[in-house]
Amino acid sequence: MIKRTLYFGNPTYLKLKNKNMVVVYPDTGEEKTASVEDIGIVILDNSQITLTQPLLNALLENNAAVLTCDSKHMPLGMWLNLNGNYTQQEHWHNQIAVSEARKKRLWKQVIQQKIRNQAALIDANGQEVHNMQYWADSVKKGDPDNYEARAAAYYWKTLFVEYIERFKRGRYEADPNHLLNYGYAILRAIVARSLVSSGLLPTFGLHHRNSYNAYCLADDVMEPYRPYVDHLVLQLVKEGNVGAELTTDMKQRLLHIPVLDVLINKQLSPLMNAVSQTTASLYQCYTGERKTLKLPILN
């Protein structure tokens, strides 16, 4: 079953009653309910939202990810369950004990598929991709030649070329970067939630190693999924509805990220479920049960 993504952008009181989230709108007194078991992600985007501790505990116990947003309406922080798997200690031990050589082999797979997915997206828009295909095939263990960066430079130069002059990808650059940032934050929450459900710590990455980043592994695993967010943002750009303000309509479109169709393991699956397959396969690679990750194929 696909878990629900709930967004709250107005003053709201959220509480728990009979294993349900009860949503109370103070202005009207209206109440709505949602089963906690059906919720995968909650986004809190208003300074006048009140959430009770019992509800927060219930959400985390059911492996939901709870995101809070800043004054600019961008996701800022995230709560996750630290006991999302029944054999947590064993999983953490296997994760921490994995060799650097194995991490590099897995990172190679991640980057190869990321570049191939990027190539598929710009190829669908009629752009040259032979160089991208060459770079993907040339990636070595650990990507010591940094083909990821070479591919990214060409990709971002090409992706919006017909719609935006001299687009520059950057967290604080001009639109539609704000849409990409918002979409990636949702994707990151999906991946982090799935890692915890698979009994893995999001902190210990394959490649990312930032002392101040609690989600290094989530940032690693989400790489081949980023082009799905890019595709959705590209569609918004094509429609001509993108401006400097992150509107409610734009957010609603981006909240569809968990249910985007993804080809994985030769079958179509909602993105949230596909990510679960990837994180489960990652743990199996850590234990030696598998040699290859289950990764998404953009077509």
Report pLDDT digits (tens) over 13-68: 999 999 999 999 998 889 999 999 999 999 999 999 999 999 999 999 999 999 99
Query: What pLDDT shows up at residue 240?
Result: 85
Strands 261-264 and 4-8: unpaired
Report residue 23: phi and psi, to 5°.
-105, 120
- Does this model's pTM top 0.95? My answer is no
pLDDT confidence bin for 214, thresholds 50/70/90: confident
Q: Which two tokens stand for residue 30?
A: 């209206």
Percent over 90 (pLDDT), the chain: 81
Average pLDDT over the chain reads 93
Residue among 255, 208, 15, 225 at smallest CA distance from 120: 225
What are the start and end residues of each CATH 1.20.120.920 domain in the chain? 88-287
What are the start and end residues of each CATH 3.100.10.20 domain in the chain? 4-79
Kindly state which CATH superfamily the domain 88-287 is placed in.
CRISPR-associated endonuclease Cas1, C-terminal domain (1.20.120.920)
- The residues near 194 (Cβ < 8 Å, ≥ 6 apart) are 272, 275, 276, 278, 279
Collapse the DSSP code of 39 into the 3-class scheme (helix H, G, I; strand E, B; otherwise coil) and give the result. Answer: strand
Kindly state which CATH superfamily the domain 4-79 is placed in.
CRISPR-associated endonuclease Cas1, N-terminal domain (3.100.10.20)
- Is residue 210 predicted with pLDDT exceeding 80? no
Place of tokens 């699956």: 269
* Least confident range of 38-52, 210-224, 227-241: 210-224
